[in-house]
Structures are given as structure tokens and as C-alpha cells.
Amino acid sequence: MNQPIKLFGTDGVRGVANTEPMTAETALKLGRAAAHVFKRDDKRRHRIVIGKDTRLSGYMLENALVAGICSMGVDALLLGPLPTPAVAFITRSLRADAGVMLSASHNPYMDNGIKFFSNDGFKLPDEIEQQMEAYIASGELDEIRPTAAEVGKAWRIDDALGRYIEFIKNSFPKGMTLDGYKIVLDVANGAAYKVAPRIFSELGADVTVYSDKPNGININDRCGALYPEVVRKGVIDHRADVGISLDGDGDRCIMADDDATVVDGDHVLAIAALDLKEKGLLAKNAFAATVMSNLGLFQAMDEAGIEVHRSKVGDRYVLSTMLEHGLNLGGEQSGHVIFGDFTTTGDGLITALQILRIMRETGRKLSDLRRVIRKYPQVLVNVTVRDKPPVESLDGVQQVVAEVERALGDHGRVFLRYSGTEYVARVMVEGREEREVKAHAARIADAVRAALG
């Protein structure tokens, strides 16, 4: 009997490219499994959209996916380098059966990932991912071999970039422009390197672009959303109104205000929620945020009479919470923000444009808008680990965590979890005093290293 396999993590399949599970062989099997799962009837041609970021390994994995999909009698529609949310949009726009994105998001270039979207542009539920894993493990699909005219074909969608640009611009009010705004833009040598500069320029902004020359190995390399200091410096050097920093696949956005202060996803959620509430457009007078969001966000929203539903970390869990409670706004501190009135997943370009819209409508600078929340000092330490046993089973670590929680009392908190995509434990500590918070976080991190390093 075939043993079950586990390929999917919190955001698709991910790993070091050309090692399992991120090999051409597994990509081909995933393509075959996806084609079978999404082939709903045999009376028409079926189509799966494939996009990618700028990683060198994207060529290898893209061709393997195409081979797997076509071998099952399904057509593959190739978009080339485009942001993850563009794949979700174009899957819906073309009425395709599914979409696939090749990207490891903010990870370094040697990693890659495969994530799937259903025909409605939403990421797959766990049960569909498990069904695909079961097909691969069982070998059940090995005997399904369409021949002759039943084999699938592949072609490139030449107008994909233009379709996505118009979709993004349509999220910005008609007649409104960005005339007079000076923007510094970091596209992380990633999937948004073509579309992002065009969008802001076509809307009238004066745009200075950083990290827009991908070579296959420089994606996220000391640039993009994990390195906001690039746009912070750019704002100062160019006396810009705002800095916008995207990650490698364009689904998250971190900003810098006119004072060169970082504006993260918590700030964006607060600014957007207050704006939508004032307009009477905030569904259920609530939004979704993760347990990692800063205490200052929860306190500010409580004072404003806005409910915040807490989800697990990961944009798919944010979206699940939004759907469960009928919400139209949700996001993460990391810059994944979902504006449900426009799209089905996090989109860094829509996020940036919604903040720019609020700036234009109110006449306020971003440095003023971000002050809607007063953030607690928060320290996040990443610890590389050799495996991931339940954190509750680490007695020595739990003892240190308990001692820190007692020291913080009601004015802080500790959050310890594993990354869903890397062998990393994340230690987060919040409190009133930054020096104290750093010391507590370092102490817990040392305990994790001693147990698992």
C-alpha cells in the first residue's frame, strides 16, 4: 500500500530548487494531478494558467508543469513573469479551470515554490491539496494517457501584462491621478518589475525605480519588502512623498512615509479600516488580522469601535477568516493585505494604490496617516532549527517563555511559532520598553537554539 506523502505547506509546495520536492519530476506530477482534479467534464478543452517570478529555476519548473498538464489532455496558458495576484486575476478573467504560480515569494533565489488557484481565483482548500497528494502517492494517474488530438497544447498569453495593468488601475478612482506625487519604488528584481513602474507612471506619479533588473539570481537580494531601508533612503535622497517596496512575487507591500519611517501592514490595515468605516464601506464594521499584529493595532481599533478578528499567520488563513465572517478587509503585518472588494488575494499594488487614494482624498501625508496607531516595541528573532517538534513539548523553552510572560504582565506578550515554509522558529516579543523586549526575545531565542539549533 502506498504511503501518504506531504507536499503542500502553508503556501503551496516550496523548497530548494532541484531538490525534492522542488524538482522537475515532482513538478510534472503536480501538473498531472492538477490537470486531473480540475478537468471537470470531457466535453470541452480545459485550460490552466501558469505564471512565474524571475528565479532562474522558473524555466525548469515551468516546462515540467507544462509537460504534466498537457500529458493529461489539458492546455497550458503561459503568462511569463507576473505577480502572484495577477495569476489569480487572469485565471478568473480567462475563465480558466485553474492557475499556477511559480514563486517562493520573499525567499532567496535558490528556493522556489508552486502554488495553485482554483477557477474563482482563491487559493486551494486543504482537501483539494490532499487529493492531489493522494493521486501522486497512489500512482493512480499513471494509466491515464490521452493520445493523438487529445494531448494538451501550450501557448503564451501576449496581453496578460496589459490585462493586469488595467485591472489594477481600475481599483483606483476614475478621474483621480497621482499628479504631483514623487514615489520611490523597489520591485525586488521580481515578478512586478515590469508592471509596477508602468502603473504608477501611467497614473501620473514621478517614479524612481530600484531593483528592476532581474537576472535570475538577484530576486529579493538585499532589496524588496524585507529590506525597507532601500526605499527609506530613497525617500530621503529624492525628497519623495512615499516609498513603496514589493516582495519577489508582488503580493506584499511595505511602505515608507515622507519622514522615511516604515509603514507596515498593521499601519495599512488601520488606515484603510478607518477610511472604509467613515465611508460606511467596512463590512460588518470589522476586519481580519493575524495573531502577530501589533498590540497597538488592536488597541487603536478598539478605541475606534472596529472589531478585529484574529487568524493564524498566513494570508490563506486571513482570507479564510474574512470569508467566514463576511469581511472585505484583512491582512498581515508583513504587508499581505487583501482588499476583498477588488481581489481574492494579497496584492501589493492594490495595497499601495489604496493608501495613495486615501492620501489624495484627505490631503494628508502618510506620516500623518500612520499615526492612527501607536505601536508597542516589537522584536522578531528568527532561529534556524533542525526539526519542528511541537513547541509545547520543549520544556526548557516553555519555562523561559513563562518567565518572560510573567515579567511582561498585562503590558506585553510572547508569540513563538515555526515558519510554514522554512526550518525557522520565529520568536516575537512585545512590551512597553524596547530594551527590555530585545533582552526577553534574545533569551527565548537562546533557549530555542539550545533545544533545536
pLDDT, tens digit, 9 for 90 and up, residues 249-291: 999 999 999 999 999 999 999 999 999 999 999 999 999 999 9
Q: Is the peptide bond before 21 cis (omega within 30 degrees of 0)?
A: yes
Whole-angstrom distance, CA of residue 286 vs CA of residue 160: 34
Burial 258-292 (b: 16+ CB within 10 A, else e): bebbbbbbbbbbbbbbbbbbeeeebeeebbbbbeb
Decide the pairing of beta strands 262-263 and 253-256.
Answer: antiparallel
* 3-class DSSP assignment, residue 115: strand
Q: Quick check: do 13-158 and 164-372 share a fold?
A: yes
The values of phi and psi at residue 370, to 5°, are: -65, -15
Task: Spell out where 187-326 has E strands.
Answer: 206-210, 242-246, 253-256, 262-263, 286-290, 307-311
* Average pLDDT for 15-44: 93
Catalytic residue, chosen from 71, 103, 105, 245, is 105
pLDDT, tens digit, 9 for 90 and up, residues 120-139: 999 998 899 999 999 999 99
* Average pLDDT for 380-406: 94
- What pLDDT is recorded for position 40? 75
* Average pLDDT for 208-212: 98
Share of the chain above pLDDT 70, in %: 99
Tell me, yes or no, if 367 is annotated catalytic: no
| Mean residue pLDDT across the chain | 95
- What pLDDT is recorded for position 280? 98
Q: Is the dihedral angle over the CA atoms 168, 195, 202, 95 positive or is it negative?
A: negative
* 3-class DSSP assignment, residue 21: coil
User: Domain 378-452 has what CATH class?
Assistant: alpha beta
Identify the H or E element spanning 160: helix 160-169
- The total of other beta-carbon atoms located within 10 Å of residue 247's CB is 34
Task: Name the pLDDT band for 1 (thresholds 50, 70, 90).
Answer: very low
- Is 164-372 assigned to CATH 3.40.120.10? yes
Alpha carbon of residue 139 to chain centroid:
32
- The answer to whether 87 touches 99, Cβ cutoff 8 Å, is yes
Which homologous superfamily does the CATH classification assign to the domain defined by 13-158? Alpha-D-Glucose-1,6-Bisphosphate, subunit A, domain 3 (3.40.120.10)
Q: pTM score, two decimals?
A: 0.91
Residue matched to cell numbers 493595532:
297
Residue matched to cell numbers 503564451:
156
Query: Which stretch of 2-6, 172-176, 334-338 has the lowest confidence by average pLDDT?
Result: 2-6
Kindly list the domain boundaries of the chain, sorted by start residue.
Answer: 13-158, 164-372, 378-452
In this model, does residue 198 exceed pLDDT 80? Answer: yes
* Average pLDDT for 207-232: 98
